[in-house]
Amino acid sequence: MIVSAPGKRHPADTKVTDLLIAYAQRRLNEGEAESEKQAVIDRFVEIMEGLAFPAQLSREIVAALEESLAAAPVDQPERFVDAVKASGEDTCAKLVAAYLRQLGEQAEYVNPREAGLYVTDEAGNAQVLPEAYDRLQSLGQRQGIVVFPGFFGYTPDGVLVTFSRGGSDITGSILAAAVKADLYENFTDVDSVYAVNPNLIANPKEIRVVTYREMRELAYSGFTVFHEEALLPAFRAGIPVCIKNTNNPAAPGTKIVSGRETKDAPVAGIASDKGFCSIYVSKYLMNREIGFGRRLLQILEEEGISYEHTPSGIDNISVILRERFFDEETESRVIKRIMDELHVDEVSVERNLALVMIVGEGMRRSVGVCARATTALANARVNLEMINQGSSEVSMIFGVKADDADRAVLALYQEFFTAQNACPQPAAIR
């Protein structure tokens, strides 16, 4: 069992991790942060009171927390922040192990250092080291319930380093892979992964089974119930993942697996995201110039710009990227470099684009999915700025104007997930 730090009790609440960050920052800036520290302690005390912990046990857990906060190296700010943040998960793991023992279970807290969860020394963005898997494997042989804090590991030299935010999912996936688990249940706060973002369409279809690849593509839209780095260890080890609702554990949840039956449902879901732009470049006889595309991408790389897609014609290529990487200053600099270094005929930028994608393992074996999708979009008067489908893929990506994106998602949802010929219900768009 891998535990996170306590989350929000109500929408206006603050997560314990955010309380700890506030503590760490004030402590670094002002030398003391007693009230922030007390806020963290109060939360744990409240939980333990709610669970009717004996006073002595409660005091021990609070003392251990205060000790680890005091031991954090304030002279090394990044390591200090990581150590403080990690104490939320660490304390919670101790608390849960103690509670399980109160209930009569055989349960023990295990520290990531003792268990060998070795990571790289990148503060706030640790990556698991390959040797960690061998060391962690023996956890599977322990008797009873192992309660393990998520979110952090240790360098081989013993420095505490956290994963990126939300990293308890990463710990869970690593441990599931290390012990070759039959299943990795990930408890979050939704009943299911949905076929479309529920902020766009009310009460969308729940997804029961989805493949790793489909899940990854659906997560592209920013609509994530699961840390995207977290799927990797489970994916590589072939461990099925089940997303469950902590507040409704009886719900079946969504299972993420290697392969699924796609006969009746070529499309698993629809994802969309706004905030894209495209750089269009044309040059007569471009396709005879070996290295043109590489040099264009090299300019972007040298400018530190990540890109998404590069649809191309014979003599032209477009680069689709997120607008946040491309402010006006960057735009003028990049356009000048493209003109000067690649001697192109034309270069232009289009902003306010959205990407809408349909995702499904069954698509590439199913004649006509694209026809259904583009017909639905045409009927909704959505013009296609870009279409991108690869040669062995689980997704089909449409570039549309940002203003058309929600209408496009609705049209595709109706085509693939509601009864045929249902009337469009724009009211369903929130």
**Tokens describing residue 52:** 């009717």
Residues within window 204-243 making contact with a copy of itself, judged by CB under 8 A: 213, 216-217, 220, 228-229, 231-232, 235-236
Q: Work out whether the CA dihedral 44, 49, 50, 52 comes out positive or negative.
A: positive
The helix (run of H) or strand (run of E) holding residue 299 is helix 292-302
Residues within window 241-270 making contact with a copy of itself, judged by CB under 8 A: none
Coil vs helix vs strand at 153: strand
Q: How many residues bind a copy of itself (CB under 8 A)?
A: 71
Is 280 assigned to a binding site?
no
**Cβ at position 101, least distance to a copy of itself in Å:** 38
Span interacting with a copy of itself, options 155-163, 333-341, 384-392, 417-425, rule CB under 8 A: 384-392
| CA–CA gap between residue 71 and residue 61 (Å, rounded) | 15
Span interacting with a copy of itself, options 100-108, 109-117, 247-255, 362-370, rule CB under 8 A: 362-370
Torsion of the alpha carbons at 58, 61, 62 and 64, rounded to the nearest 10: 160
**Cβ at position 423, least distance to a copy of itself in Å:** 20
At residue 401's C-alpha, the angle toward residues 400 and 403, to 5°, is 125
| CA–CA gap between residue 40 and residue 49 (Å, rounded) | 14
Among 58, 173, 272, 310, binds a copy of itself (CB under 8 A): 310
Question: Which residue's CB is nearer to a copy of itself, number 59 or number 236?
Answer: 236
Q: Are strands 184-188 and 241-245 parallel, antiparallel or unpaired?
A: parallel
Among 103, 290, 419, 423, binds a copy of itself (CB under 8 A): 290
Yes or no: say if 117 and 132 are a contact pair by the CB < 8 Å rule: yes
Residues within window 394-423 making contact with a copy of itself, judged by CB under 8 A: 394-397, 399
DSSP conformational letter for 301: H
Among 111, 247, 383, 425, binds a copy of itself (CB under 8 A): 383
Span interacting with a copy of itself, options 57-65, 79-87, 136-144, 305-313, rule CB under 8 A: 305-313
* Strand arrangement of the beta sheet that strand 145-149 belongs to: 2-3, 145-149, 107-109
Question: Which residue's CB is nearer to a copy of itself, number 243 or number 397?
Answer: 397
As annotated, the binding site for ATP includes 188-189, 194
As annotated, the binding site includes 188-189, 194
